[in-house]
Structure 1
Amino acid sequence: MRNAPKTFNFGEDHLTAGIALSIARGKTKGLISDFSRIKIRNSSKTVANIVEKGDPVYGINTGFGPLCTTKISKEETKILQSNILKSHSVGVGEPIDKEIAKLMLILKMNSLAQGYSGIAEATLDRILWHINTDAIPVVPAQGSVGASGDLAPLSHLFLPLIGLGKVNYMGEIMETSSLFDKTEMQSINLGPKEGLALINGTQFIAAHAVKVVEKLQSCLAQADIIGAMMIEGLQGSIKPFYNELHALRPFKGNMYVAKKVKRLLKGSEIMEDHANCNRVQDPYSLRCIPQVHGASRNAWLHLKELLEIELNSVTDNPIIIDEELTISGGSFHGQPLAMALDYACLAASEVGNISDRRIYLALEGNSPGVPKLLMNETGINSGYMILQYTTAALASENKGLCFPSSADSIPTSLGQEDHVSMGSIGGRKALQVIGNVEKILAIEMLTAAQAFEFRKPLKSGLFLEEVHKKIREKVAFADKDRVFATDIEAGIEMIQNQTILNAIEEVKERENLEMEIPFADEFEIY
C-alpha cells in the first residue's frame, strides 16, 4: 500500500485505516517501543497498588455492570478476569472475516499500549505474537450492541489468551489447545482488570469501519471512472463538470469528482464529436454525478476523520490516570462511529442507486448511435435488458438495509447500560451494502463498455481508452445473447481487484501524467 511505514509503534505512532490494513497484511511490522513499555508497566503497577489498598474501584475489585457494588476479595480479583472472558463469550452466527478479526487485535493493541488500561506487558506481548504469527481468533459476527464496548466479540477474540476458543491458523480453524501443541505456547494468567480492559472497547465496530473506509473508497473511485465512460458512451455534456460551476458551491467531494471526471474526458474525440449538438442538458444520473458521488465522498471523508480519532483513542473502562484518579466513564460507547457508519451506509447505497439509473438510461436507446438494449439485433436477442433487473434488485435491497442501526437502542445489563449504539450492526450492514454496490458497479462497467463500442472509430482520451482495453481483456463485446452471469462474475472480480484503477495508474506512470485533483490527499486512507 502506498505510504505505509515499514514499522509502527503501538501506543505511540499515529494510526490510520491504511496503516492498520498494512499491519494486518504483513506489510508493516507492529512493535511496542521502550517508551510505551514504560507507560504500560507503570499503569499495571498502579492497578496492583489499588488492589493492595483495597479501596473499591470498578472492574478491579468489584463486579461488572449491575454487579458494580459487589466487592471482590483480593484473592479473587484474578479469577474475576478470566471469568469475564468466559461469561461474555456469547457470540452467535458465522465468524467474521479473518482480516477483520486481525484488525480487532491491531486496534486493541494500539488502545491498550497507550498505558491507561492497567494491562500487563506480557499480555500485550502475547497479543502481538498472535498478530505476527497470524494466529487469529475466531469471532462470531453477532452479539454486540456496541456499548459497553463490543463485549461479546472482544471476549471471543481474547479467549485464546487463557487457552480457550478457536483460532484460524495456517488456513485451518482449530481449538486453541491445538495451536498451543503446534507452537509450544501456553495460556497466560490474567491479572486484576486485564479481562475487563480486553473486552471493553469499540474494536469490533472500528475494525468494520476500517474495511468500510477501504472498500467504499474503492467503489467511489471506480464509480467516477465508470460514470465518465458512460458519459462518453451516451455522449453526455462535459459542461456540468466545469470548475466555474463548482467553485460557486464548493463542497470538497463535488469539486473533487467534477475535476476528476473532466480530466478523464480530456482529449476525447467522442466528446469533441458532439461539442455543438443541440441537446441542452442530460438526465440527472449523468449531469449530477459531481453532486451525488461528491456527497457520498463527503460522507466517506466524515467517517474517515472520526475513525482516525477512534483508532488513536483509549476506549476501555475504567481509565487509570494514577492511583488517586481512576475514571469510570463511557468511552466504550460506540455512538461516534455508529452514526457515521450509518451515514456511510447510505452514501454507499446512493452510489449504487445512481449507477442503476445510468444503466437504465443506457438501455433506452435515446442516445444517437447507441441501440436500444445496447444490441443492434433485438427481438431474438434481449441484449442487456435483464442485467438491469439485477441492479434494480441490488439497489432495492440496499435501500432496505439503510435504516440506521444507531436509531435503535435496547437496554441491557439490567438497565445499567440503558442506551446502546448498535454500531456493531451498522458496521456489518455497511459492508453488506458496499458488497452489493460492487456488483452494481460491475454491471454498469460492462454496460458502459458496451455503449462505448458504438462510438468507434472515434477514440476517447488516454485514460478511458486504457480502461476500456482492460475491460475487453476480460469481457468481450456482445453482439448476441449469451450467459451474462459469466460476464458479471468477471466484472465483479475486476471491481474487487481494482483493475480499472490500476489502468489509470499505469497510464499516469507511462505518460508521466498528473491528475492534479483538488483535495486528493484528503481522499486517501493514510
Structure 2
Amino acid sequence: MVLRQLQTLRQAIKTDLENLCSLSTTFISTPQIIISNQWREELRDVRLDGSTLTIADVLNVAREMAHVDLEKTALSRTISNRKILEQILDKSPVLYGINTGFGALSNQRIPKEDLAQLQVNLLRSHATSVGNPLPKDVVRAMILLRANALIKGYSGVRPETVQLLVALLNKHVHPRIPETGSVGASGDLSPLSHMALVLIGEGEAEYNGAVLPGKIVLEKTGLRPVELAAKEGLALNNGTQQMTAIGCLALHDADSLLMSADAALALSLEGLDGWIDAFDERIHKLRPHPGQISIAQTVRKLLKGSR
C-alpha cells in the first residue's frame, strides 16, 4: 500500500516539476494531485469590490468556474468617477492617451469626435501576441483581475464595460490570447488587448470547445459588444493582469507541489523505517530558517503515532 502511494506521489511530483520548469513557455496546468492547500476554499460565488479579492477567489473562478458578481457600491463608484472624467474632458485639457496620441504621437491632439475610435485603434494595434493560446485558467484569472482593478473606479471606465468583462466569465467565454507578447513591468499591453477585442466584437474566443470570432461568440451567448468611450481602451489594456494571473496560479501549484513533497518524504520515512528523531523541533530551532522549521513540523504531524 505504501509503495503504491509513493509511486502515485512520485508521478504527481514529476509532472508538477515538469510544469514548473516549463513555466516560461507552456505555463502551469492543474496539478495531478493536491494533498492540502492553504489557498483552497470551499467553492463559492465571488463578489468583486476592488479591494478584497483573494488568491482563493482567483482559483475558484479560474479553475472551478465560480460565478462572479459586482458589488453595488463599487459599481456606483465607477459611475460617479466616469462623470468626473467626462466633466474634465468637456473643459478640453490635454490628457495623454485620452485626447492625444500615444508615445511619439503624444503631442498630436485628437479631435473629440475621434476619441472613441482612438481607443479601438489602440486595442487593434497592440493585439500582436504570438504563440500558443494561454490556458483557460490563466485567461479566466486575467479577466477577473482586470475587472477587479477597473471596479475600483480610478480608471474612468463605464460600468457596462466592467459588467461585460464579468459576463464573459459567467458565460464561459474565453478570449484567445497568444502566450508571448507581454512587455513585463511596462504592462501586459498586448495580451490584454487580445482580451479586450472580444468586448467590442472582434478578436477570437473559445466557447463550448470551439474557437470562434468574437462577434459570433457574443451573439451566441446573448451578449452585446460594447462601444468604447474615451479612455476605455487604455484602461483595458494598460495593466499587469497576465503576469499576476500566472503568479497566482503558480503560487497555488508550487504550494501543492511542496505539500506533495512533504507527504512523499513522510511516506518514504515510514516505508523505509527511517529515523524520525532527525525532525525533532529542538534540532531545527537551532538554525534560523523558518522554512526548515516548518517542513520539520509538517513531517512530525504526518508521522504522529508512527512506530
TM range (shorter): 0.7 to 0.9
1:142 corresponds, among 158, 168, 180, to 180
Which amino acid letter does the alignment assign opposite residue 239 of structure 2?
A: G
Contact 1:158 1:198 in 2 (8 A): yes
After TM superposition, list the pairs within 5 Å mapping 1:252-267 onto structure 2: 252-267=290-305
Q: Which deviations, in whole Å up to 9, do the C-alpha atoms of 1:356-396 show, x marking residues without a partner?
A: xxxxxxxxxxxxxxxxxxxxxxxxxxxxxxxxxxxxxxxxx
Shift of 1:31: 1.5
Contact 1:11 1:112 in 2 (8 A): no
Q: Which has the higher contact order (CA 8 A, sep 6+)?
A: 2
Indicate whether 1:193 and 2:241 are aligned.
Answer: no
Equivalent position of 2:80 in the other structure: 42
Equivalent position of 1:170 in the other structure: 208
1:116 corresponds, among 154, 160, 173, to 154
DSSP-derived class of the 1:147 partner: helix
- The whole-number CA distance in structure 1 between the counterparts of 2:65 and 2:217 is 24
Q: Give ranges in structure 2 of 5+ residues lacking alignment.
A: 1-38
Indicate whether 1:229 and 2:251 are aligned.
Answer: no
Question: Over the residues paired in the alignment, what is the CA RMSD in angstroms?
Answer: 1.8
Which amino acid letter does the alignment assign opposite residue 215 of structure 2?
A: S
- The whole-number CA distance in structure 2 between the counterparts of 1:170 and 1:27 is 13
Equivalent position of 2:126 in the other structure: 88
After TM superposition, list the pairs within 5 Å mapping 1:84-483 onto structure 2: 84-269=122-307
Shift of 1:208: 0.3
- The whole-number CA distance in structure 2 between the counterparts of 1:131 and 1:268 is 47
217-226 or 168-177: which moved more? 168-177
- The whole-number CA distance in structure 1 between the counterparts of 2:50 and 2:124 is 31
The alignment-based identity, stated in percent, is 37
Indicate whether 1:17 and 2:17 are aligned.
Answer: no
TM-score by length of 2: 0.82
DSSP-derived class of the 1:174 partner: strand
Q: Which deviations, in whole Å up to 9, do the C-alpha atoms of 1:146-170 show, x marking residues without a partner?
A: 1321001000011111111111111
Contact 1:11 1:113 in 2 (8 A): yes
- The whole-number CA distance in structure 2 between the counterparts of 1:244 and 1:231 is 19
Contact 2:175 2:198 in 1 (8 A): yes
- The whole-number CA distance in structure 2 between the counterparts of 1:36 and 1:13 is 10
- The whole-number CA distance in structure 2 between the counterparts of 1:232 and 1:3 is 30
Which amino acid letter does the alignment assign opposite residue 231 of structure 2?
A: K
Which amino acid letter does the alignment assign opposite residue 191 of structure 1?
A: A
Q: Which deviations, in whole Å up to 9, do the C-alpha atoms of 1:57-110 show, x marking residues without a partner?
A: 111111123322222121111110000010000000000101110110000010
Shift of 1:213: 1.0
- The whole-number CA distance in structure 2 between the counterparts of 1:12 and 1:97 is 25
Q: Which has the larger radius of gyration?
A: 1
- The whole-number CA distance in structure 2 between the counterparts of 1:56 and 1:193 is 13
Equivalent position of 1:7 in the other structure: 45
Aligned residues: 269
- The whole-number CA distance in structure 2 between the counterparts of 1:73 and 1:10 is 35
- The whole-number CA distance in structure 1 between the counterparts of 2:259 and 2:289 is 17
Contact 2:50 2:149 in 1 (8 A): no
- The whole-number CA distance in structure 2 between the counterparts of 1:182 and 1:138 is 16
Contact 2:40 2:59 in 1 (8 A): no
- The whole-number CA distance in structure 2 between the counterparts of 1:243 and 1:175 is 59
- The whole-number CA distance in structure 1 between the counterparts of 2:174 and 2:276 is 50
Q: 1:230 to 1:6 in 2, by over 3 A?
A: closer
- The whole-number CA distance in structure 2 between the counterparts of 1:195 and 1:4 is 35
Shift of 1:12: 4.3
Equivalent position of 2:8 in the other structure: none
Which amino acid letter does the alignment assign opposite residue 296 of structure 2?
A: A
After TM superposition, list the pairs within 5 Å mapping 1:59-74 onto structure 2: 59-74=97-112
Shift of 1:171: 1.5
Q: Which deviations, in whole Å up to 9, do the C-alpha atoms of 1:190-247 show, x marking residues without a partner?
A: 0111000000111000010111011111100000110122233444322331111222
- The whole-number CA distance in structure 1 between the counterparts of 2:261 and 2:237 is 38
Contact 2:100 2:106 in 1 (8 A): yes
- The whole-number CA distance in structure 2 between the counterparts of 1:185 and 1:2 is 31
2:93 corresponds, among 25, 35, 55, to 55
Contact 1:4 1:19 in 2 (8 A): no
Contact 2:171 2:221 in 1 (8 A): no
Which amino acid letter does the alignment assign opposite residue 216 of structure 2?
A: S
- The whole-number CA distance in structure 1 between the counterparts of 2:68 and 2:220 is 23
